[in-house]
Structure 1
Amino acid sequence: MTHGIATNVAPEAAWFKSSYSEANGTGCVEIAHLTRTTEVGIRDSKDKTGPALVVPAGAWTAFVSAVRSNLC
């Protein structure tokens, strides 16, 4: 896992809100599939120019799978 400033990790158009984010906007996560690598960027949608995590795509997939299995 690495980190950086969201605007340096991916262009604004690459980010999209998680379908699990709260509708009222208080708990929003955005991700970006990074084309230059097999990684995923993760940021807080309320701080678009703030920090972003960069994780391997496989780790993100495993995380989402684990969350889904606990919600169903």
Structure 2
Amino acid sequence: MESKLSDFVKLKRKQLKINQVELSIRAGVGLRFIRELEQGKKTLRIDKVNQVLALFGSELGVIKKIEL
């Protein structure tokens, strides 16, 4: 199952009509990192994730969980 983050990155990349190689160059991260991010790898460096998300006008942040 893919994470919401991976889905978001894939969707935004496709909206920009760029491939993973171009995204990695624009974000200043390695192609392997982009592949792992889009595959939903559980352990990734937050600073690198934010480098990618910055291209989409976004960043990681803390979200309070709703208690049921």
The two structures have a TM-score, normalised by structure 2, of 0.30
Bigger helix fraction: 2
Bigger strand fraction: 1
The two structures have a TM-score, normalised by structure 1, of 0.29
